[in-house]
Amino acid sequence: MKSNVICKRIAEFVAATFLCFSNALFASPQVPDSLIAELGCAGCHANLPATHLTAQIPDLSFAGLRYQPAYLFEYLQNPQKIRKHIGNSRMPDFHLQPDEALALTLFLSEQQFAPQSAREIPATLQKWENPAVEIPEIDQKIRSEYACLSCHSFNGAGEQISVDLATIGYRLKPEFVQQYLASPAVFGIAAAVMPPQFFAPENAFEPRYPDAATRVQNLTAFLMATGKEQRSKMEQVFAAAKEKFPAATAAIGEAIFRSQQCVGCHNHSQISAANRQLAPDLTGLGDRVQPEWLKEYLKKSHAIRPFGYQPGSGSRMPDFRLTDAEAETIAAYLLTVKSSRRLPEIPFEITPLSGFSMNKTTQLLNEKLPCIGCHTIGETGGKIGPNLNSVNLRLTPDYLWAIISDPQAVLPHNHMPKIPMPESWRENIFKFLHQQSNAATTTEATYLSLVNHPVTLPGENKNTAELYAQMCGICHGETGDGNGYNARYLPVSPTAHSDSAYMSTRQDAALYDGIAAGGFVMNRSHAMPPFLETLTKAQIADLVKYMRKLCNCEAPSWSRDGSR
Interatomic CA distance for residues 458 and 537, integer angstroms: 22
Q: Average pLDDT of 318-330?
A: 97
Q: Go through the domains of the chain in sequence order and give each one's CATH number.
A: 2-264 (no CATH), 285-438 (1.10.760.10), 464-561 (1.10.760)
Interatomic CA distance for residues 452 and 314, integer angstroms: 11
Interatomic CA distance for residues 296 and 299, integer angstroms: 5
* Percent of the chain surpassing pLDDT 70: 91
Interatomic CA distance for residues 171 and 162, integer angstroms: 15
Q: Average pLDDT of 295-302?
A: 96
pLDDT classification of 9: cutoffs 50, 70, 90: low
Q: Average pLDDT of 335-348?
A: 90
pLDDT given for residue 22 in this prediction: 46
Residue 354's contacts (CB-CB under 8 Å, 6 or more residues apart) are: none
pLDDT classification of 444: cutoffs 50, 70, 90: low
pLDDT given for residue 413 in this prediction: 77
pLDDT given for residue 423 in this prediction: 96
pLDDT given for residue 3 in this prediction: 45
Per-residue model confidence as pLDDT tens digits over 173-189: 999 999 999 999 888 77
pLDDT given for residue 439 in this prediction: 47
pLDDT classification of 202: cutoffs 50, 70, 90: confident
Per-residue model confidence as pLDDT tens digits over 214-238: 999 999 999 999 999 999 999 999 9
Say how far residue 396 (Cα) sits from the centre of its chain. 26
pLDDT classification of 275: cutoffs 50, 70, 90: low
pLDDT given for residue 490 in this prediction: 96
pLDDT given for residue 340 in this prediction: 80
pLDDT given for residue 512 in this prediction: 97
Q: Average pLDDT of 360-367?
A: 95
pLDDT classification of 51: cutoffs 50, 70, 90: confident
The residue among 491 and 21 whose pLDDT is bigger is: 491
Interatomic CA distance for residues 554 and 506, integer angstroms: 9
Q: Would you put residue 193 in left (φ > 0), alpha (ψ -120 to 50) or beta?
A: left
The CA–CA distances, whole Å, from 75 to 49, 168, 195, 256, 343 equal 28, 14, 27, 16, 43
Per-residue model confidence as pLDDT tens digits over 497-538: 999 999 999 999 999 999 999 998 888 899 999 999 899 999
pLDDT given for residue 5 in this prediction: 45
Interatomic CA distance for residues 64 and 76, integer angstroms: 14
pLDDT given for residue 559 in this prediction: 86
Helix (H, G, I), strand (E, B) or coil at 289: strand
Q: Give the number of residues written for the chain.
A: 564
Which region among 30-44, 97-111, 371-385 has the lowest average model confidence (pLDDT)? 30-44
The residue among 316 and 443 whose pLDDT is bigger is: 316
Q: Is the pLDDT of residue 408 over 60?
A: yes
Q: pTM here?
A: 0.91
Q: Is the pLDDT of residue 326 over 90?
A: yes
pLDDT given for residue 19 in this prediction: 46
Q: Is the pLDDT of residue 24 over 50?
A: no
Beta carbons of 506 and 555 less than 8 angstroms apart: yes
Q: Average pLDDT of 406-435?
A: 92
pLDDT given for residue 341 in this prediction: 83
Amino acid sitting at position 199: F
pLDDT given for residue 491 in this prediction: 93
Q: Is the pLDDT of residue 28 over 90?
A: no
Q: Average pLDDT of 334-339?
A: 88
Strands (E), 402-552: none
Average pLDDT, the chain: 90
pLDDT given for residue 414 in this prediction: 83
Q: Is the pLDDT of residue 4 over 70?
A: no
Residue 472's contacts (CB-CB under 8 Å, 6 or more residues apart) are: 484, 497, 543
At residue 93, what are phi and psi to the nearest 5 degrees? -95, 120
SS (H, E, C) 352-395: CCCHHHHHHHHHHHHHCCCHHHHCEECCEECCCCCCCCCHHHHE
Beta carbons of 125 and 213 less than 8 angstroms apart: yes
